[in-house]
């Protein structure tokens, strides 16, 4: 009689080689261990958006690529090198959205939201795509919490409201010590004037600039204020200050934004070097950072005003301000700061069985309890009661229900307190009542 070992030694069929897969670069799985963070962030964002009076909107993930070229700027990195584009079988040239604002603005026009009460305060939360080199908190598919206030009057109170929302969001997520950086980059009247002055200033010092900045000088002089090269940083100090140059209207607008922030005790830091990468911004721009993670993870919420965007896609001049926050970045910060997540609900009970008959009956009880809204865990595939209770213990469940032959015969069930080890038999029809009583 062949032993198993001998059988193993028989010549084997050549193994078929099966390709294994990793997720594509920058595309991450959300695992059960991440879920508490996602659940927390999504629920906080949603309830905060509701209380601030924002309504949910979700534009499609695919839009015409041209929408982004027109709004975000042909020259911007987001459009030039980070956009996932594709040609459909019908010949349309589409893009996976790299940001929310253009799509939401498009939807606002397309569906006549400008004819509803103004402003429209819109909230969105979903995946965006940018083809970047991934790092911690920078993924190719990432998720944003996005806010837009569109239409109505160009009122600085809405700029402040967006910032206040994100301030509350960070606080509710227990991300302490966050910093708000804020600036105004003027309007189409004063910005060109400033740009010219800035260009003149830098032209005189062109030789001292780094390579990138010499290129930026031609494309987007404002970005020079963002450079971290020592030589360029030095020059920045003496560069004309935008805040001194913006026009009276912009200046008044900005001053009011700050006053509104003062009114709700949100601290901020004026940063006249703060500019943004997308073309459509005007006036207020802001970025928020978590203490200690500024360098590594970068800005958490960020945004600003974009009054001219709607015009670039064929609409009327529409006051608009918005902001966005990356969910994966929030999670990275929460992990870095070791912000505790409350684990499983203490309201969970565990149902264990002893014996085949009890297993069947337990399945029915399980369904019944779940139908009444109880959170019930089980490990019914395990036959030994010890193994089942071990699972209950591991999951930190405080109350176990045990069903065996004897209980079925008596039409009862054992209710065991796993914390103090005390247990008693309870008639089945009083089980729901008993659980409720003990959970108080």
Partner RNA sequence: GUGCCUAUAGCUUAAUGGUAAAGCUCCGCUCUGUGGCAGCGGCAAUACGGGUUCAAUUCCCGUUAGGCACCCCA
Stretch of 103-111, 112-120, 187-195, 299-307 contacting RNA, by CB under 7 A: 299-307
Binding flag, residue 107, RNA (CB under 7 A): no
Q: Which stretch binds RNA (CB under 7 A): 52-60, 147-155, 312-320, 397-405?
A: 397-405
| DSSP designation for 236 | H
Q: Does 45 bind RNA (CB under 7 A)?
A: no
Closest CA to 194 of 147, 124, 161, 242: 242
24: helix, strand or coil? coil
Residue number with CB closer to RNA (161 or 328): 328
Cβ(404)–Cβ(383) below 8 Å: no
Which tokens belong to 297?
A: 């993870």
* Residue 74 found at the interface with RNA (CB under 7 A): no
Binding mask 301-340 for RNA (x = CB under 7 A): xxx--------------------xxx-xx-----------
Residue with smaller CB distance to RNA, 217 or 247 = 217
Q: What is the crossing angle of helices 190-203 and 211-219, to 10°?
A: 150
Find the helix packing angle between 327-336 and 35-51, rounded to 10°.
120
Residue 252 CB, nearest distance to RNA (Å)? 26
Is omega for the bond preceding 202 within 30 degrees of 0, making it cis? no
**Touching RNA, residues 339-358 (CB under 7 A):** 354-355
Rank residues 114 and 423 by Cβ distance to RNA and give the closer one: 423
Q: What's the closest the beta carbon of residue 96 comes to RNA, in angstroms? A: 13
* Residues 145-204 contacting RNA, CB under 7 A: none
Q: How far is the CB of 344 from RNA (least distance, A)?
A: 14
Considering only residues 196-235, where is the footprint of RNA by CB under 7 A?
A: 212, 216, 223, 226-229
SS3 of the chain: helix, strand, coil, percent, to 5: 40, 20, 40
CA-based radius of gyration for the chain: 29
Q: Which of 269, 405, 430, 438 binds RNA (CB under 7 A)?
A: 405
Buried b (16+ CB within 10 A) or exposed e, 420-435: eeeeeebebeebeebb
DSSP string, 197-221: HHHHHHHTTGGGS-HHHHHHHHH-G
From candidates 243, 385, 428, 432, binder to RNA by CB under 7 A:
385
Q: Is 14 in the site for RNA (CB under 7 A)?
A: no
Local structure of 374: helix, strand or coil: coil
50 binds RNA (CB under 7 A): no
Q: Kindly determine how many residues on this chain lie close enough to bind RNA according to the rule CB under 7 A.
A: 75
For CA atoms 218, 224, 229, 235, give the dihedral sign. positive
259/157 Cα distance (integer angstroms): 9
CB of 133 to RNA, least distance (A): 3
Q: Which residues ranging from 234 to 293 are in contact with RNA (CB under 7 A)? A: 276-278, 287
Of 58 and 77, which CB lies nearer to RNA in the complex structure? 77
The window from 1-9, 43-51, 172-180, 401-409 that contacts RNA (CB under 7 A) reads: 401-409
Q: Could you give the 3-state DSSP secondary structure of residue 1? A: coil
Q: Evaluate whether 141 touches 24 at the Cβ level (below 8 Å).
A: no
For RNA, which residue of 382, 428, 432, 434 counts as binding (CB under 7 A)?
A: 382
> Candidates 183-191, 240-248, 259-267, 391-399 — which segment interacts with RNA by CB under 7 A?
391-399
- Asked if 108 and 114 touch (Cβ cutoff 8 Å), the reply is yes
The CB-of-355 to RNA minimum distance in angstroms stands at: 6
Q: Which residues ranging from 76 to 95 are in contact with RNA (CB under 7 A)? A: 76-78, 81-82
Is residue 378 at the binding interface for RNA, with CB under 7 A as the rule? Answer: no
- The separation between CA 167 and the C-alpha centre of its own chain, rounded to angstroms, equals 14
Of 253 and 329, CB closest to RNA: 329
H or E stretch at 55: strand 55-56
If the CB atoms of residues 24 and 248 are measured against RNA, the closer one turns out to be 24
State the minimum distance, in angstroms, from the CB of residue 162 to RNA: 12
| Chain position carrying tokens 């009970």 | 349
Q: Can the peptide bond before residue 119 be classed as cis, meaning omega within 30 degrees of 0? A: yes
Site for RNA in 421-440 (CB under 7 A): 421, 423
- Binding residue for RNA, selected from 386, 411, 429, 440, defined by CB under 7 A: 386
Q: Please classify residue 167 by burial: count the beta carbons closer than 10 Å to its beta carbon, then call 0-12 exposed, 13-18 middle and 19+ buried.
A: buried
């Amino acid at each position: 009689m062949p032993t198993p070992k001998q059988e193993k030694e028989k010549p084997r069929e050549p193994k078929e080689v099966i390709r294994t897969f990793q997720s594509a670069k920058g595309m991450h799985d959300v695992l059960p261990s991440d879920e508490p963070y996602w659940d927390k962030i999504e629920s906080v964002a949603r309830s905060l958006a509701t209380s601030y009076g924002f309504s949910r909107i979700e534009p499609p993930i695919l839009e015409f690529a041209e929408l982004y070229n027109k709004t975000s700027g042909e020259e911007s990195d987001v459009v030039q090198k980070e956009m996932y584009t594709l040609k459909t079988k019908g010949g349309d040239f589409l893009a996976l959205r790299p940001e929310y604002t253009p799509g939401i603005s498009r939807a606002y026009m397309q569906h006549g939201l400008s004819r509803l009460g103004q402003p429209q305060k819109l909230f969105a939360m979903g995946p965006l795509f940018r083809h970047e080199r991934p790092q911690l908190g920078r993924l190719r598919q990432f998720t944003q919490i996005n806010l837009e206030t569109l239409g109505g009057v160009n009122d600085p109170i809405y700029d402040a409201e967006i910032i206040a929302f994100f301030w509350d969001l960070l606080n509710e997520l227990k991300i302490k010590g966050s910093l708000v950086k804020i600036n105004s980059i003027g309007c189409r009247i004063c910005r060109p004037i400033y740009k010219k002055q800035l260009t003149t200033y830098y032209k005189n010092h062109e030789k001292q600039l780094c390579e990138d900045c010499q290129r930026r000088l031609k494309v987007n002089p404002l970005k020079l204020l963002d450079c971290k090269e020592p030589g360029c940083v030095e020059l920045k100090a003496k560069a004309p200050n935008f805040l001194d140059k913006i026009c009276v209207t912009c200046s008044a607008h900005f001053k009011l934004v700050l006053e509104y922030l003062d009114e709700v005790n949100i601290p901020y830091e004026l940063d006249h070097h703060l500019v943004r990468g997308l073309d459509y911004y005007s006036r207020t721009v802001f970025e928020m950072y978590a203490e200690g993670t500024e360098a590594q993870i970068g800005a958490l919420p960020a945004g600003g005003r974009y009054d001219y965007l709607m015009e670039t896609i064929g609409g009327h001049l529409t006051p608009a301000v918005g902001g966005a926050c990356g969910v994966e970045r929030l999670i990275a910060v929460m992990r870095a700061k070791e912000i505790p997540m409350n684990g499983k609900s203490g309201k969970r009970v565990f149902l264990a069985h002893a014996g085949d008959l009890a297993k069947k009956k337990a399945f029915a009880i399980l369904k019944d309890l779940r139908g009444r809204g109880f959170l019930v865990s089980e490990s019914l595939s395990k036959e030994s009661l010890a193994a089942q209770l071990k699972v209950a213990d591991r999951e930190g469940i405080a109350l176990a229900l045990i069903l065996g032959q004897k209980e079925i015969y008596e039409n009862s069930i054992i209710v065991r307190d796993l914390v103090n080890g005390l247990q008693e038999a309870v008639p089945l029809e009083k089980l729901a009542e008993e659980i409720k009583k003990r959970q108080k």
